[in-house]
Chain A
Amino acid sequence: MKGISVIVIALAGAIFVLSLEAIFLSTSIRMSVERSISAQEVEILRSINKLEMVKIGLPYALEYSFQQAVYDVSKNGGYFFIQPGVPTYNGLPIWRNYSNINEPSYIEEIKKSTLSYLNKYMSSIGFVNSGQYTEVSIGDYTPVHRRDFVCCSSCKCGGCKFIISRGTWEECYCSSECENAGEVCRTNEPGVTPVACKPKNGVWRETTCNSGENLYSLTYCDSTASSVEEACKKKCSQEGMDFLSYTSNSCSCIKITIMPNVFLINASSSQDITIESQLYKASIESNTSQVVKTNVFNILATAESKFIASDAVKDKLITALSSYDCSSNNETVKSAVASAILALEFSNKNISLSLTPKKIVIKPDCNSTVAVAVEVKIKDKLPYLVYDGTTAYRNPELRFYVITSSDYSFQPI
């Protein structure tokens, strides 16, 4: 009996030990599970925080990308990359080659470049998945506004009839809207000189005349003007615009709006930015925006108004060379040309324009006809934080070439 009791106690002891072991095992497993859950919870919290960091930083990345894009594209003459086939001179694109215009899409190239740099920022964050940014908006408007005017009137040469009494000749007469109504304006009768019909009151129209109207010299729309040029200048002034150019019966005016230099830029992507672990996936909207300061539109407006919509260099050359003739001294002409080109330079609080004549060619048989290759630089006076070997504040400078001459028939460059 004593032996049985010892066995019972031993068994009870064994059960006690086994129970403790079971409790410890169970606790350890539970602790292990808890630790795993805890690690996952930490991971989730950190993921959310990381996404929040991306969200805080994206506007800055967008701004840095935009600044770099403006700097690089401007330095490259308005191109993100100068593609083969783009005409260049001294490694820079030629925006005007006499009457040919090769203007890049400066703003579009900046947008393209901004997207490229922004996507580099996104791919440099290893722990998030993000689609490519596909759209950047900077501002949508036309800084250079051009209007063309013509002078029109219903005055016409018509009412033709055969004059049998004088030997069957055909005659036409100026209509009643003409100042010289009834005068013969066309005839095949020998010895009779027809006159030109003169409208009583010409009417300014934009681009083209209305149906039933004819085009007349601009002076018929402004009786006080002594020349077509004067009539055009007065019309532009009336419209609150600047005079650009004129032909015998058309007048071009231009208006450059000084743009504000603060813009809200926005980058968008169709895909969200996501972060995911085995048990967790979080995402945020990838669209981002930032307020930036830039004069890109003022730079573009200056370039377009002076070298695309008109040829300011040619106009200056014509004016400067008007006092010279074919036999004028070569060096004197060159000096006058250089001075005339430099006279186009200007500077305001936003931008500065500088021109450097790189090549001046004088027509061999006539020294008053000149062709030039001019390097144009339009600098933004705002500082941009950009990389060019080192990261520093720099001023973007749009650089390109204008090749022109005082007479487009002379094209030696």
Chain B
Amino acid sequence: MKKGFFPFTIAALGLIFTVTMIVGVLLIFLAFKFHIDINLKFEYEKSFSDLLMLSLLRLNYNSTYPAYRVLAERSVNGFDDSMKKFLSDKITLMADADCFRLANSTSSILNTSCEAYKQTGEAFIFKPYNPNKLVEEITLTYNQVER
């Protein structure tokens, strides 16, 4: 009994050591992979959303009227269906989004009937001179289609 118990102890110790090593190594790799994935996705989405807004502001509505003016001067020049369709088409195409909402701090500028909540991009634009409001912050919230 005394003689047979020692090998059993050694085997048990080896098993514990092996399991510890496997679990430890796997855990570290899995945790890192998962975390890096999450971080990269977060960084990508944040950067992409803001870049999307930048791209939107650089577009031209027509040869003489940039999208920047469409948004900045909409309270003076109006914001007709053609302008809305232009922005809506561009957002849908560039963001690959099925739902979106373009809004400022107080109201919605343009939105789809479905609710947008996943990704968010922000931009600010200079408004025509008004001492009370020179800058307007615009937020684009959208749901990128999962592929």
Contacts and interface: CB of A to CB of B under 8 A. Distances in A.
Interface in A184-241: none
A46 interface: yes
A392 B76 contact: yes
Interface stretch (B83-91, B96-104, B109-117, B125-133): B125-133
Interface string A53-69: 10011101100110110
Interface string B35-49: 110010011001100
A1 B5 contact: yes
Given A12-B16, A64-B128, A393-B76, A1 B2 contact: yes
Interface stretch (A27-35, A139-147, A246-254, A276-284): A27-35
B46 A42 contact: yes
B9 interface: yes
A46 B51 CA distance: 9
A40 to B, nearest CB: 10
Given A5-B5, A42-B46, A124 B134 contact: yes
Given A42-B42, A124-B134, 9 more contacts: A23-B24, A31-B31, A42-B46, A49-B50, A60-B72, A60-B125, A64-B129, A68-B129, A385-B128
A65 B126 CA distance: 11
B54 to A, nearest CB: 5
Interface in A375-413: 385-387, 391-393
A385 B73 contact: yes
B94 interface: no
21 contacts: A1-B5, A12-B12, A16-B16, A16-B19, A23-B27, A27-B28, A27-B31, A45-B43, A45-B47, A45-B50, A52-B54, A53-B54, A56-B58, A56-B68, A57-B126, A58-B126, A125-B124, A385-B128, A387-B129, A391-B75, A391-B129
B128 A31 contact: no
Given A38-B39, A49-B54, A391-B129, A60 B69 contact: yes
A2 interface: yes
B68 A19 contact: no
Nearest to A392: B76
A121 B54 contact: no
Given A8-B9, A12-B13, A125-B135, A64 B126 contact: yes
Interface in B2-29: 2, 5-6, 8-9, 12-13, 16-17, 19-20, 23-24, 27-28
B95 interface: no
Nearest to A23: B24
A56 B47 CA distance: 17
A344 interface: no
B130 A391 contact: yes
A120 interface: yes
A324 interface: no
B128 A391 contact: yes
Interface string A99-138: 0000000000000000001001100110000000000000
Contacts of A64: 126-129
Nearest to B31: A27
Interface in A1-31: 1-2, 5, 8-9, 12-13, 15-16, 19-20, 23-24, 26-27, 30-31
